[in-house]
Amino acid sequence: MKRGLKSGICMTNCPTLIVTVGLPARGKTYISKKLTRYLNWIDVPTKEFNVGQYRRECVKIYKSFEFFRPDNEEGLKIRKQCALAALNDVRQFLTDEGGQVAVFDATNTTRERRETILRFAEQNGFKVFSLWNLFSELQNIFNTFILLKLGSPDYTHCNTEEAVADFMKRIKCYENSYQPLDEELDRDLSFIKIIDVGRRYLVNRVQDHIQSRIVYYLMNIHITPRSIYLCRHGESDLNIKGRIGGDSGLSARGKEFAKSLGQFIQSQNIHDLKVWTSQMKRTIQTAEAVGVPYEQWKALNEIDAGVCEELTYEEIQQRYPLEFALRDQDKYRYRYPKGESYEDLVQRLEPVIMELERQENVLVICHQAVMRCLLAYFLDKTAEELPYLKCPLHTVLKLTPMAYGCKVESVCLNVDAVNTHRDRPSVRLTNTHIIRMYCSMSVYSSRFLGVHKFSLY
């Protein structure tokens, strides 16, 4: 697989198995899902395997905490089977399906269970990294995760009080046999001990690049409630002309939007809002109207369309029909000659995402392709979907992390603007068409064809 070459860094020589450890309601699933989403976004194929899910498929209806009692032979048998089934799927994902990281999300609270997993990993040549979650005393965080449990399929038929009471008894079942990782006995293992989700971390024996990135990411996330506002700059002069890229200023309607945006932000009464823009005129002019200090990020600049900068789609079709067709074939990976691809964009936006994770309330005023990449991260969209996400002008998206995902509220500020969205065309050229086109290109400068690699497969 070309993966390593593409990103420039060989992320893993062998696949990594991430193992969560911790009593119920410590945030294991929350962190597993978030980490998986981040790794997939930075192009590391990752999948989570939640043992609770396997159990629910096996035991169709959850009756009560009694299933988890340590003396429930039947229960123990089923749970062990589920864990093994999950491990089997892990093996398949990492060995046969090109996966690079698997997150094994379960309590894994006994030494015995963890040793089983270590042996399994060793046999299959996987590296192991453990995520160990616990709380020292912060009661409110504990409650956040309890709330998540109440939304579980296990408790659809219970009222809140019953559910909480049952869940507490469930936790008790685990507590007696809980054997935490030991700083001495386990000092040769690679792990991160996360205490209070965001306060304190103990990091032991980071083995390689991907583990180092995982640790960095985990140390930057928090669960303080906040919202992220995403919007594009106001309509620009080049937008009106149907031209892509460039660095023009706002049109009259764009300026109107900027004012409306300012009013909207005021009305939202946001606590301590940070405002970020790119270094291009149209986002800066938009931010100016909001009237609060803002920070400029070069990384938020629109995708560089290289030789196609400031052209209309008609002109691109006319001058570079081959390029235009190739882009429609694989819009995510296609790189404009002397320009960038969406894939490049994701790489340069990674520090922005990292800082967004650290921050609380932020308004990001950016561009169409950039906004698609950021949105794809928050809403867990694939590389296939990303370049076609709808991000219209003059619309603000308010993202509020909720449960295991993100609530999206779309606010259209009622200022007219052109539509800049170009769907994937239904008729795409087949490879034969492209080859024929390529052969007839006698006027084509080799310069342009050489700069990006396209494979006809």
Partner 1 sequence: MIVMVGLPARGKTYISKKLTRYLNWIGVPTQVFNLGQYRREVVQTYKNYEFFRPDNEEAMKIRRSCASNALKDIANYFTKEQGQVAVFDATNTTRERRGAIISFAKEKGYKVFFIESVCDDPEIIEANIMQVKLSSPDYENYDKEEALVDFLKRIDCYKMSYVPLDEEKDRHLSFIKIFNVGSRYLVNRVQDHIQSRIVYYLMNIHVTPRSIYLSRHGESELNLLGRIGGDTGLSSQGQKYAKALAEFIRGQSIKDLKVWTSHMKRTIQTAEALGVPYEQWKALNEIDAGVCEEMTYEEIQATHPEEFALRDQDKYRYRYPKGESYEDLVHRLEPVIMELERQENVLVICHQAVMRCLLAYFLDKSADDLPYLKCPLHTVLKLTPLAYGCKVESFYLNIQAVNTHRDRPTNVNVARKPEEALQTVPEHL
Binding residues for substrate: 232-239, 282
Compute the least distance from the CB of residue 222 to partner 1, in Å: 10
Task: Give the separation between CA 228 and CA 273, rounded to whole angstroms.
Answer: 9
Closest to partner 1 by CB, 211 vs 395, is 211
Contact in structure between 8 and 209 (CB atoms under 8 Å): no
Residues near partner 1, by CB under 8 A? 4-5, 8-10, 187, 199-206, 209, 212, 215-216, 219-220, 298, 344, 347-348, 355, 358, 447, 450-451
193 phi and psi angles, rounded to 5 deg: -100, 115
Question: To the nearest whole angstrom, how small is the minimum distance from the Cβ of residue 220 to partner 1?
Answer: 6
Alpha-carbon distance 295 to 279, whole Å?
A: 9
CA 172/CA 187 separation, integer angstroms: 28
Active-site entry in 57, 97, 184, 233:
233
Numbered residues of the known binding site: 232-239, 282
- For partner 1, which is the closer residue by CB, 139 or 267? 139
Least spacing, CB of residue 200 vs partner 1, in Å: 5
Q: Specify which residues 130 forms β-bridges with.
A: 19, 191
Other Cβ atoms less than 10 A from the Cβ of 332: the count is 20
Selecting among 66, 112, 183, 302, the annotated active-site residue is 302
Nearest residue (CB) to partner 1, 10 versus 402: 10
Main-chain phi, psi angles of 209, to 5 degrees: -60, -45
**Token pair belonging to 201:** 């971390």
| Number of alpha carbons in the 13 Å side-chain half-sphere of residue 71 | 0
Q: CA 224 to CA 270: how far, in whole Å?
A: 14
Residue 36 in contact with residue 131, Cβ under 8 Å?
no
Q: Which two tokens stand for residue 223?
A: 């669960």
Give catalytic status of residue 343 as yes or no. no
Residue 379 beta carbon to partner 1: minimum distance, rounded to whole angstroms: 25
Q: Whole-number minimum distance, CB 18 to partner 1, in Å? A: 17
Active site residue 162: no
Pairing, β 101-105 against β 294-296: unpaired
Q: Are 363 and 274 in contact (CB under 8 A)?
A: yes
Q: Is the dihedral of CA 314, 318, 321, 327 positive or negative?
A: negative
Closest-CA residue to 168 (of 146, 199, 138, 186): 146
Query: Smallest distance from the beta carbon of 212 to partner 1, in angstroms?
Result: 6
Looking at beta carbons only, is 169 or 222 nearer to partner 1?
A: 222
- Closer to partner 1 by Cβ: residue 42 or 363: 42
Nearer to partner 1, 54 or 217 (CB): 217
Q: Which helix (H) or strand (E) holds 18?
A: strand 16-21
Residues marked as catalytic: 233, 302
